[in-house]
Structure 1
Amino acid sequence: MKGQEWYQATDIAQEYDDKRFSQGGRLIDRREKEAVLDAIGPVEDKKILEIACGTGRFTAMLAERGADIVGLDISAEMLGEARTKADAAGVGETIEFMRGDAGRLPFEDDEFDAVIAMRFFHLADTPAEYLAEIKRVSNGDVMFDTFKNTSTRSIYNWALPMGSRLYSRSEVHSLIKGAGLELVGDSHDFVLPYGFYRSLPNSLANVFRRVDTTIGKSPIGDSIASVSYWHASV
């Protein structure tokens, strides 16, 4: 995986949410959670695995909605933040957090009703292998996101601390088919890059978000969107 040392640094884990999901970044957080729930909700009593759970944004949210959820991440520091967040939300006792490698999942075949992997595949050096492993442990839904190679992100991608793998639509379709999954649906969003929103106060970000959404609904919206949300099933 790309950028493992950077990702696992203590200060990165402590500052991760504040840098990405405060101010205008709250719009990103809201949209990502909406995408997850659209794909796998309702989640009550479902057994769900979150791969690369990071600071537990989705893990805690799904636990609050009654999911039986496992959060797996390679970073002990990120898992520490996730446990703190879950405890603050009152769901710490209902979530199992595990440190592990997404390429060798320590679970049985078909163990989960759904598997999600957000902010993961842009770091994957062997995405086909990871998706095959995800498919192995799911008996239902698979949901993940990717960054698009035709977006503005391609201009500055080289400057990001971890870099990013950028995908074409056809490449993701091929990965899904190769893993033995069926594509259920996809959506594409954020013409303006994430970094732009994070630099804005929330009130100003809302103005740009309305413009962004309008462009996104136009005939060229999907082709220039920076992020894609994919929903597949076994």
Structure 2
Amino acid sequence: MKGQEWYQADEIAEAYEEKRFSGGGRLIDRREKQAVLNAIGPVEDSRVLEIACGTGRFTVMLAERGADVVGLDISSAMLKQGREKARSAGVQSHLEFMRGDAGRLPFPDDHFDAVIAMRFFHLADTPASYLAEMRRVSKEVVFFDTFNRFSTRSIYNWALPMGSRLYSRWEVNRLLGEADLELVDATHDFVFPYGLYRAIPDSLASAFRTVDQSVGRVPGGGRLSSVSYWHCQG
């Protein structure tokens, strides 16, 4: 996986959310969380696995809504931040954090109602194997996001610490076929890349978002989207 050592550094984990989801990044956080909730549907009493859970943004949110959640990540430093967040939210009884490899999930087949992976596939060196494991342990929903090859994301991708794996829609459809997953819904969003939103204040980000959504709604505008959310089932 790209950036494996980078994500395991204590200083990266401690500053992760403040750097990415403050200011204009709050808008991204809200959009991503809504995409997850839309895909899972009724959350209460669902068994959910998040691979590459990081600092627990989604795991804690789901636990607060009554899901029984497992968050798995390879970074002990990220998991430490997630456990602290869970304690602060008082949801430890609904949430378990585990250190592990997303390519070899330690769960039986059809163990979860839903398996999600957010901000992960752009780092994946073998996406087919990860998607196959997600499919194996989920009896219903598989949900993940990708950064898109033919989009504004490609303009600044070279400047990122590790770069990103960018996907064409054709490539994602091929991966779904190989994993025996049926596409339920695909949503394409953010003509302006995430990095722009993180660089500006929250108030200005809202104005950019209005323009962004307007561009995305014009014929052909959706093809410029830098992010795609993929809702699938086995």
Which range, TM-score by smaller chain? Answer: over 0.9
Matches of 1:34 and 1:224, distance apart in 2: 21
Q: What's the % identity of the aligned pairs?
A: 71
The RMSD of aligned alpha carbons is: 0.7
Structure 1 residues 139-154: aligned runs within 5 Å = 139-154=139-154
CA distance in 2, matches of 1:87, 1:102: 24
In 2, the alpha carbon distance for the partners of 1:220 and 1:43 equals 34
Equivalent residue runs for 1:3-82 within 5 Å: 3-82=3-82
- What number of residue pairs does the alignment pair up? 234
Q: CA deviation at 1:217?
A: 1.2
| 1:133 paired residue number | 133
The 5 A counterparts of 1:1-234 are 1-234=1-234
Distance in 1, matches of 2:84 and 2:123, equals: 25
Structure 1: distance between partners of 2:136 and 2:52: 17
Instruction: Give the conservation status (yes or no) of the 8 Å contact 1:87–1:93.
Output: no
CA–CA distance in structure 1, aligned partners of residues 196 and 16 of structure 2: 16
Deviation at 1:162, TM superposition (A): 2.0
Letter in 2 for 1:182: E
Find the residue that maps to 2:230 and give its secondary structure: strand
Structure-2 separation of matches of 1:221 and 1:114: 31
Aligned letter for 1:153?
R
1:46-80 Cα deviation digits (max 9, x unpaired): 11000000010000000011101100000000000
CA deviation profile, 1:61-111 (whole Å, cap 9, x unmatched): 000111011000000000001111111111123201000000010101110
Distance 1:2 1:33 in 2: 24
Unaligned runs of 5+ in 2: none
Moved over 6 A (4+): none
Whether the aligned pair in 1 keeps the contact of 2:55 and 2:81 (CA below 8 Å) is: yes
After TM superposition, give the deviation of residue 221 of structure 1 in Å.
2.1
- 1:229 aligned partner, one-letter code: Y
| 1:106-143 residue CA offsets vs partner (Å, 9 max, x unmatched) | 10111011000000100111111110111111100000
SS of structure 2 residue aligned to 1:42: coil
Deviation readout 1:170-221 (Å, 9 max, x if unpaired): 1101101110110000001111111111111111111111111111111122
Give me the TM-score of the superposition, normalised by structure 2: 0.98
Consecutive unaligned residues of structure 1, counting only runs of 5 or more, are none
